[in-house]
């Protein structure tokens, strides 16, 4: 007698459980479509393998436009914790000597580093010589030298013998010779001194160089912080547009295998999916009970 009444609810629970279990499994299975006599079997592949591109696009839009917005990222970058961390690292890096810093940044070995330094020194020496030639240093020497001679000999016996023409002729010739000498041989004298200066500078840190310009540690830190904030505010929009979070998420999901996607979904929603399966059993049982009375 009791078996007659209990069989309906029990069978209903089993049917509800199995139905929901199969429905959950059909989210991921079969992995690929099944064809019989050239016709695709309905509900193959499973819902998630079949709709993965649409799912990827939807998740990408949700993450990029709702969960992680430009304002959220900008706020994190400008938060006191992040900003202080970046500024601390930059200030610490500025305390490193220039040579060590450049070697770390470029990863250059001794030969490459020395070769680059030699090119810089040679280039700067040539630029200095070209600048002296462009400003007509010989003419400056002639003009200023004439003024100095006039001032120094004013009121003396030499003033009677030195005419303006004589001074101009003498200093003009000297100026031309100096101009030619600098152009032809200036680099050989300027470069050794420039090498010495560069060797001294590369042993100093950027903080020390700024200190020579009158900046203390607090001012250097404030400068780094200001540069960080300005750079972030002016470029964050362009950077985020190029990154395109929505597209990155979409591409990442599309690149996943169905197995990886199933693992992620189950890791997040396994408990909820099991609840759905158990709920099917409960509903089937209740329907079986109601069937007894109606």
The structure tokens listed for 78 are: 């400008």
Rounded distance between C-alpha atoms, residue 186 and residue 125, angstroms: 8
Contacts of 195 (CB under 8 A, 6+ apart): 121
pLDDT at 1 over 60: no
Residue whose structure tokens are 């310009």: 213
Lowest model confidence (mean pLDDT) among 27-36, 79-88, 207-216: 27-36
Rounded distance between C-alpha atoms, residue 242 and residue 139, angstroms: 55
Give the CA angle between residues 203, 198, 132 to the nearest 5°: 160
pLDDT at 147 over 70: yes
% pLDDT > 70, the chain: 86
With beta carbons less than 8 A apart as the criterion, state whether 221 and 87 touch: yes
Q: pLDDT (tens digit, 9 = 90+) per residue, 22-34?
A: 777 777 777 676 6
Q: pLDDT (tens digit, 9 = 90+) per residue, 257-276?
A: 778 777 777 777 777 777 77
pLDDT at 181 over 80: yes
CB burial of 209-223 (b: ≥16 within 10 Å; e: otherwise) equals ebeeeeeeeeebbeb
Rounded distance between C-alpha atoms, residue 252 and residue 102, angstroms: 36
Q: pLDDT (tens digit, 9 = 90+) per residue, 111-125?
A: 777 787 888 888 888
Residue 162: the pLDDT is 65
Rounded distance between C-alpha atoms, residue 284 and residue 12, angstroms: 4
pLDDT at 101 over 80: no
Residue whose structure tokens are 């049982």: 285
Residue 43: the pLDDT is 64
Residue 159: the pLDDT is 61
Residue 157: pLDDT band by 50, 70, 90 thresholds? low
**Residues forming beta bridges with residue 40, ordered by sequence position:** 35
Residue 4: the pLDDT is 63
With beta carbons less than 8 A apart as the criterion, state whether 124 and 194 touch: yes
């Amino acid at each position: 007698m009791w078996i007659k009444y209990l069989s309906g609810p029990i069978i209903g629970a089993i049917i509800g459980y199995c139905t929901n279990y199969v429905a959950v499994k059909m989210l991921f299975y079969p992995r690929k479509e099944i064809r019989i006599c050239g016709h695709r079997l309905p509900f193959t592949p499973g819902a998630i393998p079949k709709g993965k591109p649409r799912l990827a696009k939807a998740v990408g839009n949700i993450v990029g436009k709702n969960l992680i917005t430009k304002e959220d990222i900008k706020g994190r970058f400008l938060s006191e914790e992040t900003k202080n961390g970046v500024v601390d690292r930059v200030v610490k890096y500025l305390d490193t000597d220039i040579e060590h810093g450049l070697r770390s940044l470029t990863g250059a070995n001794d030969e490459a580093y020395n070769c680059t330094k030699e090119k810089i020194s040679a280039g700067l020496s040539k630029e200095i010589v070209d600048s002296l030639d462009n400003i007509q240093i010989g003419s400056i020497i002639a003009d200023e030298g004439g003024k100095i001679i006039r001032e120094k000999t004013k009121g003396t016996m030499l003033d009677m013998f030195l005419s303006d023409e004589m001074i101009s002729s003498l200093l003009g010739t000297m100026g031309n010779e100096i101009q030619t000498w600098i152009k032809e041989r200036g680099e050989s004298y300027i470069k050794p001194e420039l090498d010495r200066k560069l060797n001294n500078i590369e042993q100093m840190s950027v903080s020390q160089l700024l200190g020579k310009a009158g900046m203390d540690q607090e001012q250097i830190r404030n400068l780094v912080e200001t540069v960080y904030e300005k750079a972030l505010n002016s470029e964050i929009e362009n950077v985020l547009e190029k990154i395109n979070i929505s597209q990155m998420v979409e591409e990442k999901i599309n690149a996943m295998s169905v197995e990886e996607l199933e693992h992620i979904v189950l890791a997040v929603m396994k408990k909820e999916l099991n609840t759905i399966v158990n709920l099917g059993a409960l509903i089937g049982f209740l329907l079986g009970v109601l069937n007894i009375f109606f």
